[in-house]
Homo-oligomer: A and B are copies of this chain.
Amino acid sequence: MKSYREELVLETKTKKAFINITPQVETALRKSGIQEGLCLVNPMHITASVYINDDERGLLKDYEDFLEKLVPHGPIENYRHNDTGEDNADAHIKRQVMGREVVVAVTNAKLDFGPWEQIFYGEFDGQRKKRVLIKIIGE
């Protein structure tokens, strides 16, 4: 069994952002030399998500609007986590709704995807350096 590990570093200019990281994961897979296996991608932080969906600008706006309506950032005093001096309780909840990680099949040395599947990094408390872990195991 082979394994491969890589970290991506991302720093978004805005507090909330969606970034397509499929090319970076494909590059990592090529470097791994793995032909058949599983590829895990997850943020190493707890106010961000890695998820798979469409790379379409309108949809990204819909995700943002849906999450902000479901879990408003403020008033920040509505969240007990913010009593600690933080103001990001909403980001911890948004990340749970969108999910933490994705596991992708690797087949014939490629991400085994349908036509529209793209890997996104969803940031809900950005403007600082965050890490994304790629771990691939297989043969």
A residues adjacent to B (C-beta < 8 A):
1, 3, 5, 36-38, 40, 42-46, 51-54, 56-59, 61-63, 65-66, 70-71, 79-84, 89, 92-93, 95-103, 105, 107, 112-117, 131, 133, 135, 137-139
**Number of copies of this protein chain within its complex:** 3
**A46-B80 contact in complex given A54-B92, A97-B96, A135-B105, C-beta closer than 8 Å:** no
Say yes or no: B38 contacts A58, CB within 8 Å.
Answer: no
| A82-B58 contact, Cβ under 8 Å, with A37-B137, A44-B117, A103-B101 | yes
Interface of A is mostly: mixed
When distances are taken between beta carbons in the complex, the residues of chain B under 8 Å from A40 are: 38, 103, 105
